[in-house]
Amino acid sequence: MIKLVSASKASLERGFLFMAKQNEPLVKHIYTADPSARVFNGKIYIYTSHDLEHSGEDNDNGDQYQMEDYHVLTLDDIDAPCADNGEILNMRDVPWVSRQMWAPDCVEKDGKYYLYFPARDKDGVFRIGVAISDSPAGPFKPEPDFIKGSHSIDPGLFIDDDGSCYIYFGGLWGGQLEKWQTGEFVANPAPIPEDADALGPKMARLSPDMKSFAADIKEIKIIDENGNPIKAGDEDRRYFEDPWMHKYNGKYYLSYSTGTTHYIVYATGDSPEGPFIYQGRILEPVIGWTTHHSIVEHKGKWYLFYHDSSLSGGISHRRCVKFRELKYDADGRIITMKPYEE
């Protein structure tokens, strides 16, 4: 169990403090999802979407995910109390948003913190916006419009050793990725044949001001060990949503969710632009439909942050954020984890 610990009045006014424990919800007073874990100034910050209780329709379009704001959880250390620092951005403060603020991410550059987030615009099309703060704990002030040319969901940021910043994004079904195959939004595209190449996540390099794309959007290619593209019907390996990039021992690791089969898997490459060779599973299925993750290093150890629906008893749109230590073998392969085993 997670134990509520004593805290100052000021801390409790902003949120709650719980003792962090592997494989247990980091907080239990609200439903949190889509964790993007970052380390700033030696401290772990976990940017989450915020699931709301409702009785709306549950469907493949994702209408059940009616999130309206973001929270940031903080850990001074991996076994320290976890604090909810409260709301850092709400859809009412973003002029272009109509609904559904889904999975966010945050990076730092030159002392400023940039929160990237997807949401539906006034036409119901998913776009990606950015909000800025002087503090990693927020609050964040949004730019008045979404990033020009952006679409779909799940922005994941990666800053390479040379300082270049890349944004990865895209999700099938409710995330609308298949609606952008022509470069323009098509409301009702033809189904993708199972023997066709699977759609990959999109990526772009960000401009120095972090508010726009510095180059054209590219599609990331994910291939098998023989160099053949993963096919759309290969639901155990094909990309669905939730792209995350990290670097380990000089290799680029692209991890993502397979959606329908509920795995977190990964592929590796020699460039942040790919191609990436499929390697295997990171996490077996969790309770609940969605599975969403991030990977971060802290004090020489690596951690997987993810969510499931255990706190709500399996309700797909009432999720909770958890973490596990992530380990590599001698060849740099990530050791597969079962979410409910130590």
Q: What is the mean pLDDT of residues 304-328?
A: 97
Distance CA(165)–CA(163), nearest Å, equals 6
Pairing of strands 320-326, 31-40: unpaired
The predicted structure's pLDDT at residue 58: 84
d(CA 44, CA 77): 7
Q: Which residue has the higher pLDDT, 16 or 237?
A: 237
Q: What is the mean pLDDT of residues 238-257?
A: 98
pLDDT of residue 4: 39
* pLDDT 10s digits, 10-60: 343 345 677 888 999 999 999 999 999 999 999 999 999 999 988 888 888
220 neighbors 277 (Cβ within 8 angstroms): no
Does residue 1 register a pLDDT over 60?
no
The runs of H, that is alpha helices, within the chain are 9-14
Please, which residues have CB within 8 angstroms of residue 320's CB and are 6 or more apart in sequence? 25, 26, 27, 28, 31, 32, 33, 307, 308, 309, 310, 311, 312
**242-259 mean pLDDT:** 98
Q: Which residues are catalytic?
A: 34, 241
DSSP state at residue 316: T
Distance of alpha carbon 70 from the chain centroid: 13
> What is the CB neighbour count within 10 angstroms for residue 143?
16
Instruction: Indicate if the pLDDT at residue 7 is higher than 90.
Output: no
Percent of the chain with pLDDT over 70: 95
- Report whether CATH 3.40.50.620 matches the domain 9-326: no
C-alpha closest to that of 90 among 113, 116, 71, 107: 71
Residue 212 confidence (pLDDT) above 70: yes
Which pair of structure tokens corresponds to residue 209?
């001001």
Nearest to 91 by CA among 123, 59, 122, 56: 122
Distance (Å, rounded) from C-alpha 71 to C-alpha 47? 6
pTM of the complete model beyond 0.85: yes
Quick one: which of 156, 184, 321 has its CA closest to 245?
156
pLDDT value, residue 11: 42
Q: Quick one: pLDDT at residue 16?
A: 65
Contact between 329 and 282 (Cβ < 8 Å): no
